[in-house]
């Protein structure tokens, strides 16, 4: 094959496959290269030149050993924080929900809060139901938590009956997809501790069983039962406060206020591969820590993107990886990563100085002086970048002049 | 923890006297200022080591406490220990069967990390604390009650009995090493009973220096005050015990001693009042010295004060290179660079020494090979010093043009907040910097000050020059694009230069190019008649590197549905072929700061940082000259609209008002359709805000349409030099709705915002809608609402800086020792792997092309054009 000769599509493909096997370039770049090259008319010399140049450029773009990627990542995420708004904005596209965004949300993510201020889920449907509005509504009804008070005309304590009288509203029930029988069952057989349940059409009476000696506190008992009945979960998933169906392109997507990933994933017709929650800990519990890592990345990236701040994904990935490196989610701060640093000096220099020093004095802690803070404290050069290596010179003897 | 023996051994003197100085002002022997404790007065020699101030490290003394006291910081642990050990045999009350489990756990940890683990110890202590009888001697156990901060009781049947520190110490003393090991104290290092103090160390005077006021009165350090208290009570206690005073009095004094020792360690212990100075200020004792932002750690150890630094106000100088910083002569004569005298530079060095500290360029110090420093300020005859120079001497010469220095502006939020610049010594008293480096420092010239540091070693200078020089920081590691670039007038000016129809005659062209330092020949003019004329695009092209190929959409792009590319009617399609700007105007998208995929980005990426620096150094002065000659300003007539437009805007606003009042009526009639998941009120507010926002936008649109591109204000918003269309609309058309907490203004008086309205008025004007434009002027009510909105903005900024600053601090602290190792993995300081390959592909964002490892299009195009 002479270098002036045009190469065929097949030859290009072959070359790229070989390149892929060599492992010199990441698959993503080879993929992109293929897209750009297959339809071009190239000589084999040109093709080789291009591949060579790409290899050189890729090689040049690699990180150097010793690079303080952590510090750079922290700065790259922290610095835009000063430019962010402090307000909570409405979620783009869903004006009905308030979703925490901007700096407060970013802090929530790095804090790995157990109770995010606005937990939400994006529920996707299985492929065959994606455009089926009726089905979407059914799923929505199915997951939205419905409590007695939401479908009742009235819930009252009736002293004459010695119980709680619930009058159900047929319209509301229809709206939520519930029936009087279902309510009776959920209050009766499903929760036997509540007491005896009698149903008469849309009128349900719950009479708490009185144990011996409880007659005197009847009112208190009724009040307790009243609260329980009012808040009894009739259907749906606990925690899903509201569900909204939105059309995205052709597809119907369910947005929820409140999360219950486990419950929703169990629901029929839900696409378990794409449905997500913004609750990091919930994701970690249901799908594992790798999924949590991905959610940290996605959430942080979307917060930054929404504010129009350009931050390289690698920085966010590093933070997420550090947070999840142990297999558990660790907060960025004294209760997580900073509190688990191996050096006493580093911990004392961060927060709660005295406690760390006292603790170290009790167990006789040693400091290996391998971190940054420790070496700064001692006034030594730090083990990063140009300081991450030691140079030893064997001075050659000066040549004697003749 | 220290044992009483160690404390005594390291002590040079026992301190018994509570006084510090006698009548003659001399320190009292075995007092708190005993000269044996080290010296702080210059010239004096230390009684213990014989060294002078600088060399004497200070020496500890000690106080023999008449009765033992609890160390506050260990009180909690003492409680756990007391609960876990038997009150009779002092053995750990762990059942026989639990022993091996914890023992292996603890030993395993010890072997692995070389220290004990508090978590395992806590488990042990917890389990042992539950036992009600001792598993070893079967003695009955009582509940231990701990009263903060230092009192312990044993709750027996007959009532609770106080455990004195002596009792506690007695129990702790009898703990066996094996038990102690499991409880988290390694007896080879520490004994549990050391948590009860019998001897107290007295820190050296250097730790608590006294200050002499101008009046000659000596003022003692807080710690000394506290120690005086301890000693005084200690003495009284001792005397009372020896005199056989009643139990009650002894106990009271004992309690008091405990209080003083407690506050000596930590004056912020909950449960007891902090010890105060005579003036009522709480004393700053040991724990307070270490803690917090102003404590020893954060302000003296993690951050240190440095020499060879300067700070002053900054001001702009467009004639500098971006790599330079203008340093005032006065500062240059104060800051020095050490330079070693060699055979080759000895003549120059002699000259510097001769000039001395007053002349420039001169020299402030000469350091002889034996280490002796000669301060040239006090040398009468510098000639002898100059003549005495020989290889091996070091002179500390003045900072000179061409030296490398670090330049910094706080807050240092990212690494571009400290960059290396080349010095250019200049007259006057401010640091001068190029405008293009303002974005990375986030600097302006409204009174900002900046710091300058002079690296003192060859190694440091090399690192500064190679890694930290401004040109090396053009590409930001945050997003892999340029962070340095044109701002404000540079953008306006480049637009004026390159817009179609901008032509320059030979004289103008030469003047512009001369300012850019262009030395080559002129290309043939674009127009020959009536005189030779060059287009701005031609002039711009002359400064571009040869062979640059690029296309992008300018900032002024109107985002048409179908892009006409080269034939764009707004000239918004920038096309550069072989270093020639063929079409399009140069604006923010092409040379602006923080604009990835711009002309500047491509130059920096494909031609290298030095080329990007040369480009900026050439284009910037040119743009300054251009805009100076053309004149560029904005006046009130830039936002005055013609009467027809004003009428249109008035119509739009009154329509909106009408619509708003209708909405109010619907709402008040309770006929509003509720939005899902919103209350009636929320729905109403949302609809109202939407109506008003729409009106403001429409008004702005009309204004925008009537303000032509010839208006400088419009040029600035269009090109991205400054401002946005909203700002213009607010000036020309209507300021719009003022908001507090994202809501229309609703608070103030009962059911109304201001007394000018009736109660419950929901109309736009009553809730903070400003109909007027800034040009027209706001009426008092509007002005007030506007101030409310403005105040919120200010508060918001103030709050944001502190919260984001804390987040940044935590992020840095958690991530600072994460680095890339030679095997390509990312690890922390303990060597734990965080990532196996950095960023999954090992690509450094700072070297990437806006996140991509390789810009394939550029590579392909380059190869293909080469072949032709």
> Hey, which residues 336-395 in chain A have their CB within 8 Å of chain B?
336-338, 341-343, 345, 348-350, 353-354, 357-359, 361-366, 370-373, 376-377, 379, 383-386, 388
Question: Are B189 and B97 part of one and the same domain?
Answer: yes
How much is the pLDDT for B558? 82
For residues A166 and A95, membership in a common domain is answered with no
User: Regarding predicted confidence, which is higher, B637 or B469?
Assistant: B469
SS3 B545: coil
Burial of A45 (0-12, 13-18, 19+ CB in 10 A): middle
Based on the domain organization, do B325 and B429 belong to the same domain? yes
Contact B374, B385 (CB under 8 A): yes
Q: Is residue B854 part of a domain?
A: no
Task: Tell me the CATH number at B409.
Answer: 2.40.40.20
- Work out the minimum CA distance from B811 to partner chain A, whole angstroms: 5
pLDDT at A214: 65
Q: Which helix (H) or strand (E) holds A334?
A: none
CA angle B823, B828, B831 (to 5 degrees): 60
Kindly list the residues from chain A whose CB atom is less than 8 angstroms away from the CB atom of residue B817. 70, 370-373, 383-384
**A172 with A229, same domain?**
yes
Q: Which two tokens stand for residue B3?
A: 């044992």
Residues A240-291 pLDDT 10s: 888 888 888 888 888 888 888 888 888 888 888 888 888 999 999 999 999 9
Using an 8 Å Cβ cutoff, are A52 and A58 in contact?
no
Q: Following DSSP, what letter does each residue of B739-758 receive, concatenated?
A: EETTEE---SBTTBSSTTS-
pLDDT at site A92:
46
The whole-model pTM stands at: 0.87
Which one, of B738, B715, B737, lies nearest residue B725 by Cα?
Answer: B715
Distance of CA B275 to the CA centre of its chain: 34
Q: Which residue blocks in B446-584 are alpha helix, DSSP H?
A: 458-463, 489-498, 506-515, 536-542
Residues A319 and A354 in one domain: no
A307 lies in the same domain as A368:
no
CB B554 within 8 A of CB B589: yes
The encoded tokens of residue B469 equal 């020089």
Q: For residue B715, what are the CA distances in angstroms to B39, B504, B585, B634, B813? A: 70, 20, 12, 10, 44
**Which of B801, B814, B851, B857 is the best residue to mutate to test the A interface, defined by the most A CB atoms within 10 Å of its own CB?**
B814
Residue in A82, A354, A377 nearest the CB of B804: A82
For the ranges A292-301, A363-372, B408-417, B770-779, which has the lowest average pLDDT?
A: A363-372
Q: What angle do CA B612, B617, B618 make, to 5 degrees?
A: 100
CA-nearest of B115, B815, B301, B178 to A359 is B115
Asked whether residue A375 is domain-assigned, the answer is yes
Q: Kindly determine whether residue A82 and residue B287, on different chains, have CB atoms separated by under 8 Å.
A: no
Residues of chain A neighbouring B803 (CB-CB closer than 8 A):
86, 103, 107
Contact B291 A354 (CB under 8 A): yes
Strands B431-433 and B309-316: parallel
Reported as a pLDDT band with limits 50, 70 and 90, residue B819 is: very high
Nearest to B850 by CA among B345, B336, B341, B476: B476
Percentage, residues of chain B above pLDDT 70: 100
Domains of chain B: total: 4
Smallest CA–CA distance, residue A217 to chain B, in Å, is 36
Spatial contact of B263 and B226, defined as CB atoms under 8 Å apart: yes
Query: Between the CA of residue B11 and those of B203, B209, B224, B523, what are the distances in Å?
Result: 9, 19, 17, 86
- Residue B767 lies inside a defined structural domain of this protein: yes
Report the candidate in B756, B765, B639 with the shortest Cα–Cα distance to residue B692. Answer: B765
Number of domains composing chain A = 4
Per the CB < 8 A criterion, the answer to whether A91 and A98 are in contact is: yes
Whether residues B754 and B692 share a domain: the answer is: yes
Q: In this structure, are A165 and A223 located in the same domain?
A: yes
Last residue within a domain, chosen from B746, B768, B789: B789
CA nearest neighbour of A292 among A334, A335, A331, A239: A331
Answer yes or no: is A301 within a domain: yes
A79, A112, A337: best mutation site toward chain B, by most B Cβ within 10 Å?
Answer: A79
**Chain A residues lying within 8 Å of B841, measured CB to CB:** 26, 28
Query: What was the pLDDT predicted at B434?
Result: 94
Dihedrals phi, psi of B207, to nearest 5 degrees: -80, -25
Determine the pLDDT at residue A32: 86
In this complex, the residue of B414, B467, B677 whose CB is nearest that of residue A79 is B414
pLDDT of residue B711: 85
Name the pLDDT band for B593 (thresholds 50, 70, 90): confident
Do the beta carbons of residue B714 and residue B725 sit within 8 Å? no
Q: Are A321 and A313 in contact (CB under 8 A)?
A: no
Q: What pLDDT was estimated at residue A9?
A: 77
Phi, psi (5° rounding) for residue B448? -60, 145
Q: What's B16's DSSP letter?
A: -
Positive or negative torsion for Cα A268, A269, A271, A277: negative
In a domain, B395, yes or no: yes
Q: Residues of B with CB below 8 A from A337's CB?
A: 814
Residues B342 and B460 in one domain: yes
Q: Is A182 on the interface with B (CB under 8 A)?
A: no
Residue B170 lies in a domain: yes
C-alpha B753/C-alpha B746 separation (Å) is 6
The answer to whether residue B868 scores a pLDDT higher than 70 is no
- Please say whether the beta carbons of B858 and B602 come within 8 A: yes
- Checking if the pLDDT of B783 tops 70, the result is yes
pLDDT digit string, tens, across residues A15-34: 888 888 887 888 888 888 88
**A243 vs B contacts (CB less than 8 Å):** none
How far is residue B151's CA from residue A390's CA, in Å, rounded to a whole number? 54
Which DSSP letter does residue B592 get? B
Task: Answer yes or no: is B713 within a domain.
Answer: yes
Name the residue range of residue B127's domain: 72-194
Out of B423, B442, B474, a domain closes at B474
Q: Is A203 on the interface with B (CB under 8 A)?
A: no
On whether both A150 and A227 belong to a single domain, the answer is: yes
B166 lies in the same domain as B115: yes
Q: Are A82 and B804 in contact (CB under 8 A)?
A: yes
Where do runs of H (alpha helix) occur along A148-288? 148-151, 170-176, 180-187, 218-230, 261-266, 280-287
Q: Which domain, by its residues, includes A218?
A: 146-235
Within a domain: residue B345? Answer: yes
- Indicate the residue of A67, A348, A371 with minimum beta-carbon distance to B829: A371
Cβ–Cβ < 8 Å for A67, B821: no
pLDDT bin (cut points 50, 70, 90) of residue B321 is very high
Q: Which residue of B has its CA nearest to A63?
A: B844
pLDDT reported for residue A402? 57
Considering only A89-98, A117-126, B41-50, B338-347, which range has the smallest mean pLDDT? A89-98
Lowest-confidence region among A66-75, A128-137, A172-181: A172-181
- Looking up tokens 């709680």, which residue turns up? A164
Give the pLDDT score at B732: 84
The answer on B619 and B572 residing in a single domain is yes
Q: Work out how many CB contacts closer than 8 A connect A with B.
A: 307
Residue B744 within a domain? yes
Contact A79 B413 (CB under 8 A): yes
Cβ–Cβ gap B190/A384 under 8 Å: no
pLDDT tens-place string over residues B73-101? 888 888 888 888 888 888 888 887 878 88
**Confidence grade of residue A87 (pLDDT, cut at 50, 70, 90):** low
Give the pairing type, strands B159-163 and A276-277. Answer: unpaired
- Under the banding of pLDDT at 50, 70 and 90, the label for residue B266 is confident
ipTM of the complex: 0.87
Between positions 134 and 173 of A, the ones with CB within 8 A of B are none
Distance CA A296, CA A321 (A): 9
Decide if B24 is inside a domain: no
CB B175 within 8 A of CB B195: no
Say if residue B622 is in the same domain as residue B661: no
Assess whether B444 and B571 both reside in one domain: no
Confidence band for B300, pLDDT divided at 50, 70 and 90 = confident
Tokens representing residue B605 in the block = 């990426």
Looking at the fold, whether A163 and A231 belong to one and the same domain comes out as yes
Tokens 């059942």 -> residue: B95
The answer on B467 and B347 residing in a single domain is yes
Give the model's pLDDT for residue B83.
85
The answer to the question of residue A42 being in a domain is yes
Lowest mean per-residue pLDDT among A169-183, B187-201, B301-315: A169-183
Chain B environment of A367 (Cβ under 8 Å): none
Are residues B851 and A336, on separate chains, in Cβ contact within 8 Å? no
CB contact under 8 A, A373 and B840: no
Which span out of A91-105, B398-412, B687-701 was modeled with the highest average pLDDT?
B398-412
In a domain, A265, yes or no: no
Contact B863 A46 (CB under 8 A): yes
Last residue of a domain, one of B162, B194, B226: B194
**Cα B634 to Cα B656: distance, rounded to the nearest angstrom:** 31
Are A75 and B808 in contact (CB < 8 Å)? yes
Q: Shortest Cα distance from B405 to chain A (angstroms)? A: 18
Residues B458 and B517 placed together within one structural domain of the fold: no
pLDDT of residue B66: 86
- Residue B35 CA to residue B308 CA, distance in Å, equals 35
Say which CATH number the domain at B600 has: 1.10.274.100
Q: What span, in angstroms and rounded, lies between the C-alpha atoms of B117 and B105? A: 9
| Claim to verify: residue B645 and residue B775 sit in the same structural domain | yes
Residues A326 and A345 both lie in one domain: no
- Does A270 map to a domain? no
Is residue B582 located within the same domain as residue B673?
no
- The answer on A334 and A380 residing in a single domain is no
Q: How far is A241 from chain B (nearest CA, A)?
A: 10
pLDDT tens sequence across B690-739: 888 888 888 888 888 888 778 888 889 888 888 888 888 888 888 888 88
Question: Do the Cβ atoms of B492 and B627 come closer than 8 Å?
Answer: yes
**Cβ contact B807–A70 (<8 Å):** no
Task: Answer whether residue A189 is part of any domain.
Answer: yes
Per-residue pLDDT at A91: 47
pLDDT in tens, B155-172: 888 888 888 888 888 888
Higher pLDDT, B565 or B777: B777
pLDDT tens readout for residues B506-560: 999 999 999 998 888 888 888 888 889 999 999 999 999 988 888 888 888 888 7
What is the domain-level CATH number for residue B696? Answer: 1.10.132.30
Can you spell out the DSSP letters for B191-207?
-GGGGEEEEEEE--GGG
Contact in structure between B120 and B201 (CB atoms under 8 Å): no
How confident is the model at residue B179, as a pLDDT?
Answer: 84
The mean pLDDT value for B312-325 works out to 94
Full 3-state SS string of B5-45: HHHHHHCCCECCCCCCECCCCCECCCCCCCHHHCCCCCCCC
In Å, how far are B72, B141, B152, B539 from B155, measured between CA atoms? 22, 10, 10, 94
Tokens of A101: 């965004």
pLDDT value of residue A215: 66
The pLDDT-based confidence of A1 (bands split at 50, 70, 90) is: very low
Is the pLDDT assigned to residue B419 strictly greater than 80? yes
Burial class (CB in 10 A: 0-12, 13-18, 19+), B643: exposed
Instruction: Name every chain A residue with its beta carbon within 8 A of the beta carbon of B832.
Output: 325
- In the block, tokens 């302006």 appear at B444
Reply yes or no on whether the pLDDT at A200 is more than 80. Answer: no
A98: left (phi over 0), alpha (psi -120 to 50) or beta: beta
Nearest C-alpha of chain B: how many angstroms from A38?
12
């Amino acid at each position: 094959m002479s270098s002036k000769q045009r190469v065929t599509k097949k030859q290009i493909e072959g070359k790229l496959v070989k390149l892929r096997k060599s492992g010199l370039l990441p698959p993503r770049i080879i993929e992109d290269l293929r897209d750009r090259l297959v339809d071009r008319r190239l000589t084999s010399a040109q093709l080789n030149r291009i591949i060579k140049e790409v290899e050189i450029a890729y090689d040049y773009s690699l990180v150097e050993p010793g690079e303080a990627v952590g510090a750079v990542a922290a700065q790259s995420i922290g610095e835009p924080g000063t430019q962010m708004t402090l307000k909570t904005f409405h979620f783009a596209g869903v004006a009905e929900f308030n979703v925490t965004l901007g700096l407060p949300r970013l802090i929530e993510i790095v804090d790995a809060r157990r109770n995010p201020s606005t937990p939400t889920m994006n529920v996707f449907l299985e492929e065959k139901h994606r455009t089926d509005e009726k089905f979407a509504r059914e799923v929505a009804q199915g997951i939205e938590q419905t409590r007695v008070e939401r479908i009742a005309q009235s819930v009252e304590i009736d002293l004459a009956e010695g119980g709680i009288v619930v009058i159900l509203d047929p319209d509301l029930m229809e709206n939520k997809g519930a029936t009087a029988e279902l309510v009776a069952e959920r209050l009766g057989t499903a929760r036997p501790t509540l007491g005896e349940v009698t149903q008469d059409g849309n009128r349900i009476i719950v009479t708490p069983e009185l144990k011996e000696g409880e007659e005197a506190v009847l009112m208190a008992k009724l009040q307790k039962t009243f609260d329980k009945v009012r808040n009894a979960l009739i259907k749906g998933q606990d925690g899903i406060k509201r569900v909204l169906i939105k059309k995205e392109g052709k597809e119907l997507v369910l947005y929820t206020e409140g999360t219950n990933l486990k419950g929703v994933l169990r629901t029929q017709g839900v696409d378990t591969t794409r449905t997500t929650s913004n609750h990091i800990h919930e994701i970690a519990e249901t799908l594992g820590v790798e999924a949590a890592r991905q959610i940290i990345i996605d959430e942080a990236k979307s917060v930054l993107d929404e504010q129009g701040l350009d931050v390289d994904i690698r920085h966010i990935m590093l933070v997420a990886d550090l947070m999840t490196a142990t297999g558990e989610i660790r907060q960025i701060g004294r209760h997580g990563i900073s509190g688990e640093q191996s050096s006493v000096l580093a911990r004392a220099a961060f927060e709660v100085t005295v406690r760390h020093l006292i603790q170290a004095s009790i167990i006789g802690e040693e400091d290996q002086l391998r971190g940054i803070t420790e070496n700064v404290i001692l006034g030594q050069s730090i083990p990063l970048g140009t300081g991450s290596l030691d140079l030893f010179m064997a001075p050659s003897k000066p040549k004697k002049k003749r | 923890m220290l044992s009483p023996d160690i404390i005594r051994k390291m002590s040079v003197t026992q301190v018994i006297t509570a006084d510090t100085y006698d009548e003659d002002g001399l320190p009292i022997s075995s007092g708190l200022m005993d000269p044996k404790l080290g010296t702080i007065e210059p010239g004096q020699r230390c009684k213990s080591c014989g060294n002078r101030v600088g060399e004497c490290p200070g020496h500890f003394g000690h106080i023999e406490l008449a009765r033992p006291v609890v160390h506050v910081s260990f009180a909690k642990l003492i409680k756990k220990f007391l609960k876990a050990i038997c009150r009779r045999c002092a053995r750990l009350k762990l059942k026989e069967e639990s022993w091996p489990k914890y023992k292996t756990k603890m030993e395993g940890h010890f072997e692995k990390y070389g220290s004990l683990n508090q978590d395992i110890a806590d488990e042990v202590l917890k389990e042992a604390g539950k036992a009600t009888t001792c598993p070893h001697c079967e003695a009955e156990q009582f509940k231990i009650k701990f009263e903060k901060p230092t009192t312990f009781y044993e709750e027996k049947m007959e009532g609770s009995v106080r455990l004195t520190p002596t009792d506690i110490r007695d129990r702790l003393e009898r703990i066996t090493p094996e038990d102690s090991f499991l409880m988290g104290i390694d007896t080879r290092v520490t004994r549990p009973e050391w948590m009860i103090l019998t001897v107290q160390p007295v820190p050296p005077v250097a730790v608590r220096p006294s200050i002499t006021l101008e009046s000659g009165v000596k003022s003692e350090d807080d710690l000394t005050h506290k120690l005086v208290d301890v000693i005084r009570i200690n003495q009284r206690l001792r005397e009372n015990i020896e005199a056989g005073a009643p139990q009650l009095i002894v106990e009271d004094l004992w309690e008091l001693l405990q209080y003083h020792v407690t506050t000596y360690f930590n004056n912020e212990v909950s449960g007891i009042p902090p010890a105060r100075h005579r003036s009522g200020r709480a004393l700053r004792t040991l724990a307070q010295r270490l803690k917090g932002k102003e404590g020893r750690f954060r302000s003296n150890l993690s951050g240190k004060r440095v020499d060879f630094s300067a700070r002053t106000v900054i001001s702009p100088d467009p004639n500098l290179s971006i790599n330079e910083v203008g340093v005032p002569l006065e500062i240059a004569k104060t800051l020095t660079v050490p330079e070693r005298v060699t055979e080759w530079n000895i003549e120059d060095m002699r000259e510097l020494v001769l000039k001395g500290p007053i002349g420039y360029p001169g020299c402030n110090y000469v350091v002889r090979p034996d280490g002796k420093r000669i301060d040239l300020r006090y040398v009468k005859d510098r000639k002898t010093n100059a003549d005495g120079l020989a290889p091996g001497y070091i002179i500390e010469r003045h900072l000179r043009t061409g030296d490398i220095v670090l330049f910094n502006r706080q807050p240092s939020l990212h690494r571009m907040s400290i960059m290396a610049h080349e010095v250019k010594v200049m007259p006057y008293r401010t640091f001068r910097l190029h405008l293009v480096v303002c974005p990375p420092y986030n600097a302006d010239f409204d009174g900002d000050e900046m710091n300058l540091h002079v690296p003192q070693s060859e190694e440091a200078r090399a690192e500064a020059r190679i890694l930290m020089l401004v040109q090396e920081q053009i590409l930001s590691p945050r997003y892999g694009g340029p962070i340095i670039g044109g701002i404000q007038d540079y953008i306006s000016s480049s637009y004026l230069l390159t817009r179609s129809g901008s032509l320059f005659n030979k004289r103008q062209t030469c003047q512009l190019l001369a300012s850019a330092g262009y030395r080559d020949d002129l290309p043939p003019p674009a127009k020959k008649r009536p005189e030779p004329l060059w287009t701005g695009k031609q002039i711009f092209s002359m400064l571009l590197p040869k062979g640059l190929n690029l296309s992008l959409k300018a900032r002024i792009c109107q985002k048409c549905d179908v892009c006409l590319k080269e034939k764009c009617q707004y000239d918004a399609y920038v096309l550069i072929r072989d270093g020639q700007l063929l079409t399009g105007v140069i604006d923010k998208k092409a040379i602006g700061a923080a604009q990835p995929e711009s002309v500047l980005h491509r130059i920096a990426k494909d031609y290298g940082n030095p080329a990007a620096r040369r480009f900026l150094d050439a284009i910037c002065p040119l743009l300054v000259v251009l805009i100076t000659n053309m004149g560029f300003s904005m006046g009130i007539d830039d936002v005055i609209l013609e009467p027809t437009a004003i009428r249109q805007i008035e119509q739009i606003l009154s329509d909106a008002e009408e619509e708003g009042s209708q909405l109010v009526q619907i709402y008040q009639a309770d006929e509003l359709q509720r939005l899902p998941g919103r209350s009636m009120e929320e729905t109403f507010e949302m609809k109202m805000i939407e109506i008003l926002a729409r009106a403001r936008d429409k008004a702005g649109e009309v204004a925008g349409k009537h303000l032509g591109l010839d208006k400088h204000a419009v040029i600035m918003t269009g090109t991205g030099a400054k401002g946005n269309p909203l700002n213009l609309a607010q000036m020309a058309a209507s300021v719009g709705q003022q908001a507090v907490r994202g809501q229309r203004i609703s608070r103030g008086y009962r059911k109304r915002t201001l007394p000018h309205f009736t109660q419950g008025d929901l109309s736009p004007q009553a809730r903070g809608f400003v109909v007027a434009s800034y040009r027209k002027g706001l009426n008092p009510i509007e002005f007030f609402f506007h101030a409310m909105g403005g105040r919120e903005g200010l508060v918001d900024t103030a709050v944001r800086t502190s919260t984001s600053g804390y987040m940044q601090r935590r992020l840095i602290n958690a991530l600072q020792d994460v680095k890339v190792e030679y095997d390509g993995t990312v690890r922390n300081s303990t060597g734990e792997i965080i990532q196996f390959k950095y960023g999954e592909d090992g690509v450094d964002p700072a070297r990437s092309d806006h996140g991509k490892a390789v810009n394939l299009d550029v590579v392909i195009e380059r190869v293909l054009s080469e072949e032709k």
